[in-house]
Structure 1
Amino acid sequence: MTTRRDFLKTSVLASSLLFLPRFLHALDRQGVARLGNSNGRRLVVIQLGGGNDGLNTIVPYRNDLYYKARPTLALREQSGILTLNDDLGLNPAMTRLKALFDDGRMGVLNSVGYPNPDRSHFRSMDIWQSGSAADQIVTTGWLGRYLDSNCAECQVPYNGVEVDDTLSLAMKGKSRKGLALKSPEKFHQLTQNHFLAQVSGEKVPGAAASELDYLYKTLVETSSSAEYLYQTSKVYKSNVAYPNTEFGRNLKTTAELINSGIETRVFYVSLAGFDTHVRQQEQQGKLLGDLSEGLGAFAEDLQKSGQFDSTLVMTFSEFGRRVQQNASNGTDHGTANNIMLLGGALRKPGVLNAAPDLANLDQGDLRYQLDFRSVYATVLRDWLGADDKAILGTEFERLSGLV
């Protein structure tokens, strides 16, 4: 029988599992309790890390001030801008998203931000992920607090899944957290280490007072959850062509989990590399192409299985870029940015508010029209059926009839 001394000898391996949520419960071998209040709806959040340039994503192609501020960086109509209306168009690399827009499956929110914006990647990302004000330090995320407030009734332990190696602040609540994994197979393999398998098969100590008992408990719960996710994910294997990139593979994993019937309410996927201070057009165009192709494949996958109407996708970045291009044919850290919404059941698709006002800047940056927490409040209340005021700490005006 494994001794606690043996267990401590493998503390490095065991500690690698500590990012897993404490609220994981060993799964009933006779079946898995289903989520009682989901109505089948789920949210997929796409984080564009590095501060995506919103003006070259949703392009104000009829605005002379845009071309004046960006004499070489601005995208021009002849470059293939994909027009959305008389004022705005998509970056030419985003053809699959344009098809979704034309089909009424996409909405665009312009100039989303918050008061007293912070231009630090780390601080601004914390603000967006926590749902806090610029002058608050909050150690939990808005989606983690959603799990805190709603998981008393939902009985499965993986209601939030981040397809990554580590868990973002957004997915960390006070008492409940999301689950981070790159794939069900790799997650399962991690728990199949001979020693871990032996420990997880033993009886969990009755007392949970010590750190050692907590480690035992974590291993048991991890093994149980990994087995369920692995076995359930075998139900569906996608035959849709995704981009051969990390982002494309992560979206494919997300679609396979959804289409396999796993009762997850929130998924979180990231695409990094948007800090485009130098030679922006090529770098951003490649990333936006990856974003568009990946989300186009994801939508196709879910449409084929009848899951797109019950899925809402929301993209965000920690800030936009400055309006004026810099001397290196790039852009520096800015403020307000756009959010894109995708789904089969959007009640208000299309361009949902006014284009950015380039004639009324704040020290060279866009002024925000819409507080990002109003978007969160709308998604929480109107899509997920949650108490947005309790989760966000105060009441924000919701966007009427959006979802």
Structure 2
Amino acid sequence: MIIKRRDFLKTGTLAAASLMLPNFLKAFSLPESLAKENKILVVLQFSGGNDGLNTIIPLKNDIYFKERQGISIKNALNLTDEAGINPALPFFKELYDNGEISVLNNVGYPEPNKSHFRSMDIWQSASNSSEFLETGWVGRYLDEECYNCTHPTQALEVDDMLSLAMKGNTKKAFAFKDPKRLYETSNEQYFKSLYDNHHHDHETVDYLYQTLGETIDNASYIFEKSKAKSTDSPYPSSKLGKDFKTISSLIKSDINTKVYYLEIGSFDTHVNQNQRQEKLFSEINDAVQSFVADMKANNLFNDVMLMTFSEFGRRVSQNASKGTDHGTANQMFFISGGLKKKGILNALPDLQNLNDGDLIYTEDFRKVYATILKNWLKADSSKILGWKNGVYDFI
């Protein structure tokens, strides 16, 4: 059976992407519920370069207000005497008051790159700024932990295409936008006929057909798991709200996935930053609030960690368009009932000692990844990252 380009394309982006992705998941039987020691990581990527200074606000820093006379946040919600949080994130303030969030400031890496694409690659691959890797930190975690698994540990990304972070040398996560849509698309008669009528001895072609068959199986598996314990908890109708609802339904099933990955953006706020950031923060606030409430209601919050990051922060001074331009260091959030240290973990950004108008990082993001891998996922972070400079103790 010959694949015609127009027939291939008309089936839609999702099916095309699924077909070309090497398989990771298999429809296999797992225990009825998650093992108690099975910690889950949910990574939320703030795409576009979120402005950290207007997220966690230095309330008593005169330089901040002087350099941002048109965009400084004057009605921040107080966390401490020195730090406040953007008023569009009231649930994060509630998490802070409850001891359910940690904030790590000044996270970055040496010789920072201000290109969205390059800096995102650095963050997703956990590379040096001068190093170009084709694998991601989660993907290498899969390589290390699942090289000989009978029932491999799984990682899922809620998107049509797989991020570099999720690609390993031999193992890859699986990307999908919506379990039902993936199932319906993969089970279209065109794909069924294509797979059922395949007879070919060429190794490369045979691999693609095998991948197609596995994708069809995986789509059915994910769809059935998403229905197994579908959530009745209310979620926002936003894209992010729907993505978190999908993740929640899978966490509560017996799919036993350890890493979920999703994103929101764009935070590239060169113009009219406050309006754009407020809209995105409101969407994040409401979606995270629903997700946390759902996890708590199902006694899962102590075993689930939500981690946020952005590829870079913004410059200290505002620009002429009531926005900010590409910067360097930024903060990361960690939300869970299983935190050992809560609140603001380190000093706020130093606005007096800058590098050509940019913040100077004090915390390497690879140390954060090493901490997550070693202390949360119980993996060998030194093998996965090559990181040998210690870990944090907040988890």
Tell me the TM-score normalized by structure 1.
0.91
Aligned-partner Cα distance in 2 for 1:204–1:379: 45
Which residue matches 1:225? 218
Residue 396 of structure 1, CA deviation: 3.0
1:263-288 C-alpha deviation (Å, 9 max, x unpaired): 11100010011000111111101111
Q: Is the Cα–Cα contact under 8 Å of residues 158 and 179 in structure 1 kept in the other structure?
A: no
Equivalences for 1:44-83 in 2 at 5 Å? 44-76=42-74, 79=75, 81-83=76-78
Which residue matches 2:191? 196
Q: Which moved more, 1:4-13 or 1:50-59?
A: 4-13
Aligned partner letter, 2:181: K
Residue 255 of structure 1, CA deviation: 1.0
- Is the alpha carbon distance of 1:154 and 1:307 closer, same or farther for their aligned partners in structure 2, counting shifts above 3 Å? farther
- Is the alpha carbon distance of 1:344 and 1:202 closer, same or farther for their aligned partners in structure 2, counting shifts above 3 Å? farther
Aligned-partner Cα distance in 2 for 1:364–1:342: 31
Q: Is the Cα–Cα contact under 8 Å of residues 105 and 349 in structure 2 kept in the other structure?
A: yes
Aligned-partner Cα distance in 2 for 1:113–1:216: 42
Aligned-partner Cα distance in 2 for 1:41–1:172: 21
Aligned-partner Cα distance in 2 for 1:6–1:143: 33
Q: Is the Cα–Cα contact under 8 Å of residues 381 and 388 in structure 1 kept in the other structure?
A: yes
Q: Is the Cα–Cα contact under 8 Å of residues 38 and 265 in structure 1 kept in the other structure?
A: no
Q: Which moved more, 1:4-13 or 1:236-245?
A: 4-13
Residue 219 of structure 1, CA deviation: 1.5
Q: Unmatched 5+ residue regions in structure 2?
A: none
Q: Is residue 245 from structure 1 mapped to residue 246 from structure 2 by the alignment?
A: no
Secondary structure in structure 1 of the residue aligned to 2:120: helix
Residue 11 of structure 1, CA deviation: 5.0
- Is the alpha carbon distance of 1:49 and 1:6 closer, same or farther for their aligned partners in structure 2, counting shifts above 3 Å? closer
Aligned-partner Cα distance in 1 for 2:41–2:166: 12
Which residue matches 1:88? 83
Which residue matches 1:285? 278
Q: Is residue 180 from structure 1 mapped to residue 175 from structure 2 by the alignment?
A: yes
Q: Which moved more, 1:300-309 or 1:8-17?
A: 8-17
Which residue matches 1:136? 131
Q: Is the Cα–Cα contact under 8 Å of residues 19 and 167 in structure 1 kept in the other structure?
A: no
Which residue matches 2:319? 326
Q: Is residue 309 from structure 1 mapped to residue 312 from structure 2 by the alignment?
A: no
Which residue matches 1:163? 158
Residue 19 of structure 1, CA deviation: 3.8
1:144-184 C-alpha deviation (Å, 9 max, x unpaired): 11111111354445711000111111111111111111111
Secondary structure in structure 1 of the residue aligned to 2:18: coil
Q: Unmatched 5+ residue regions in structure 1?
A: none
Secondary structure in structure 1 of the residue aligned to 2:308: strand
Residue 296 of structure 1, CA deviation: 1.1
Aligned partner letter, 1:167: L
Which residue matches 2:268? 275
Secondary structure in structure 1 of the residue aligned to 2:138: helix
Which residue matches 1:117? 112
Could you tell me the percent identity over the aligned residues?
44
Aligned-residue CA RMSD (Å)? 2.3
- Is the alpha carbon distance of 1:204 and 1:107 closer, same or farther for their aligned partners in structure 2, counting shifts above 3 Å? farther
1:339-396 C-alpha deviation (Å, 9 max, x unpaired): 0000110111110011111111111111101000000000011100111111112323
Q: Is the Cα–Cα contact under 8 Å of residues 33 and 155 in structure 1 kept in the other structure?
A: no
Residue 262 of structure 1, CA deviation: 1.7
- Is the alpha carbon distance of 1:37 and 1:306 closer, same or farther for their aligned partners in structure 2, counting shifts above 3 Å? closer
Q: What is the count of residue pairs matched by the alignment?
A: 391
1:283-321 C-alpha deviation (Å, 9 max, x unpaired): 101111111111111111111111111111100000000
- Is the alpha carbon distance of 1:164 and 1:23 closer, same or farther for their aligned partners in structure 2, counting shifts above 3 Å? closer
